[in-house]
Amino acid sequence: MGQIVWTLGAFLLAIGLVVTFHEFGHYWVARRCGVRVLTFSVGFGRPLWSRVAKDGTRYQVAMVPLGGYVRMLDGRVDEVSAEQEHESFSHQPVLKRIAIVLAGPVFNFIFALVALWLMLMIGVASYRPVVGDVTAGSIAAEAGLQRGDEIVRVDGRRTEEWQAVNLALVERIGDSQTEWVVENSRGEQRQLAFDLNAWAFDPDRESTIASLGLRPFQPQIYTSLAQVMDDSPAAQAGLRTGDKILGIDGTMPMDWEQIRSFIAANPSHQAEMLVERGGEQFSMQVVFGEQQGQGFLGVVPEMEPYPSEYQFTMQYGPLGAVPQSIDRTWQLMTLSVSMIKKLITGDVSVKNLSGPIGIAVGAGDHASYGLVYFLSFLALISVSLGILNLLPIPVLDGGHLVYYIIEWVRGKPVPEHIQEIGFRVGMLLLFALMALALFNDISRLVP
């Protein structure tokens, strides 16, 4: 129950911040253009809280927190007197209307840039992308990747830590090849070409990195337990800190990766576990838990300390963080556009779409890791919302922009009945996308 509340709280905070900043963009530019704003709403539906300010704008928080809107005085839906025409959105020059509509997505990109700027100033604990193991016969092995190699560049982009490698690989989903520059322990660099034609990446089961057949370096992990989480399946079964797991369901000897893989693949499974405690061996019954379709035990194994030369804190001063945050925001923008393009062409499966449940789970996970990771998640969600709103679908900002650009070029507005048809088609497309994303979310939750 506590995890659900935490996830829901993180989701509402993330969506609230991103949507509010988006709508503030419309509001701020509209006010600068002399347009009267009637309502600034965070959320849809019945207002839970509202207040009318001195400028006549009603500010409110509504019941459904999955969006928001700015309602402006508009001659198409309001009775506008001759004295009010200069404050009406519909009576503004087309370039002002374009600026007001474009402001929402632009403010999303600004929000992402600021979030990443703060993240980089706080500092992110990072690990150099040194390869631990390479699976025989895998895509990575066929390309010539070896244990101990450090990934220097992926398709020309510098990769200082594993997150950079992951983002670069996500952008290659649906492509036929990726080129890496790696460096061995002797400082010798070589270029590798990865054939991705047989790349079967399932984001619900493994990471992009693991799906290529490599694992990041990690220190030696033992099968003895350094920590047992309170109220976890392990604690309920009677496992204690210091216990050593020798085998599960008669399979032994086991290393930690075998144990982890077995538990993950068997949610809600009742297993017989052979344990050593204080020099004595005994068996106990353990029922694995289930999280997001995978089994879990709720323990932390003992391991060797991580080599200091493989870890660092990515941190910059206020000025140094500016170009870095700009570069990362641009990378997220190009990645989002690339994924949309590949969804349309079929190079990426629509099964990869996530809806509110997927976003909520992501928000909860990132928030639990700490502020810097939550800021990174906010940046990703903000960029995604900005790019989504720029799609040329009527009812979205991008659809309005298309109409206004056509008006600007031809010198007169698109006929009302044509706009109305477009809005209806746009609503159908948007509801279809939302339904598909929600279906994908539910499918991931149901084994």
Helix, strand, coil percentages, rounded to 5, for the chain: 45, 25, 30
Question: Nearest 5°: CA angle at 267, between 263 and 269?
Answer: 85
Alpha carbon distance 62, 50 (integer Å): 8
Cα separation, 73 vs 56, in Å, equals 11
**Domain 221-304: which CATH number of 1.20.1290.10, 2.30.42.10, 3.90.650.10, 3.40.50.1370:** 2.30.42.10
Q: CB-side exposure of 58: number of CA atoms within 13 Å?
A: 14
- What's the pLDDT at 32? 93
| Residue 67 pLDDT | 76
Report pLDDT for 317. Answer: 94
Closest CA to 221 of 304, 306, 300, 148: 304
What is the predicted pLDDT for the residue at 318? Answer: 94
**Whole-number Å distance between alpha carbons of 131 and 215:** 6
pLDDT of residue 352: 61
**Catalytic annotation on 23?**
yes
Q: Map residue 108 onto helix, strand or coil.
A: helix
- Splitting the chain (447 residues) into consecutive groups of 10 residues, what average pLDDT does each group show? 68 83 94 92 88 89 83 84 86 93 95 95 91 91 93 92 88 89 92 90 76 89 92 92 92 84 90 92 93 85 89 92 94 87 70 56 58 87 91 88 91 85 82 69 56
Q: CB count, 10 Å around CB of 125?
A: 13
What's the pLDDT tens digit per position in 182-212? 999 899 999 999 999 888 877 667 778 888 9
**DSSP assignments along 270-334, one per residue:** EEEEEEEETTEEEEEEEE-EEETTEEE--EEEEEPPPPGGGEEEE---TTTHHHHHHHHHHHHHH
- Rounded Cα gap, residues 167 and 130, in angstroms: 16
Residue 206 to residue 160: CA distance in whole angstroms:
22
Neighbours of 3 (CB within 10 A): 10
What are the Cα distances from residue 12, in Å, to 3, 63, 98, 106, 162? 14, 12, 30, 22, 29
Which amino acid is present at 415?
Answer: P
| Residue-wise pLDDT tens digits, 35-93 | 999 999 988 888 889 999 888 899 998 888 777 889 999 888 788 788 888 889 988 99
pTM score of the predicted model: 0.79
How much is the pLDDT for 363?
A: 53
d(CA 255, CA 19): 46
**CA atoms within a 13 Å half-sphere pointing along the CA-CB vector of 341:** 11
Distance (Å, rounded) from C-alpha 118 to C-alpha 126? 16
> CATH 2.30.42.10 spans which residues of the chain?
125-216+306-314, 221-304
Phi/psi for 172 (5° steps) reads -95, 0
Residues 6+ apart with CB under 8 A from 57: 37, 38, 39, 40
> What CA–CA distance (Å, rounded) separates 236 from 213?
35
- 125-216+306-314 is a CATH 3.90.550.10 domain: no
Asked if residues 140 and 208 have their Cβ atoms less than 8 Å apart, the reply is no
Q: Which of 23, 160, 206, 280 does the annotation list as catalytic? A: 23
Q: Is the dihedral of CA 92, 417, 401, 31 positive or negative?
A: positive
Three-state DSSP class for 222?
strand
- Note the maximum CA span of the chain: 91
Per-residue pLDDT at 45: 85
